[in-house]
Amino acid sequence: MEIWHNPRCSKSRAAKQRLDDEGIEYTERRYLDDAPTAEELDHVLKLLGKEPWEIARTKEPAYPKLLEHDRAKWIAHMVANPSLIERPIIIDGDKAHIER
């Protein structure tokens, strides 16, 4: 199991604490410091069953207001600006979800 985590985010901290409290082993990925590759983000999006614009944080300064729904362009933009990726994302084998 892996958690894409931002320690400054209360939702991320809560998700990490829940995993700790439940004794679940996981790898912590601070995705702002260790951004996913385009291939990794594409894979996680497929696991989530989402398009990149569906998990984009719309209030981030890097949010592309006029970018058409071109999956490859969005993924490239999100890899270059990982703060756009909604968090935290928990990846468990062939499943993933965004903690709310």
Positions marked active-site: 9
- Alpha carbons within 13 A on the beta-carbon side of 55: 29
Close Cβ partners of 53 (under 8 Å, ≥ 6 residues apart): 67, 69, 74
CA distance 73 to 19: 33
CA distance 46 to 24: 24
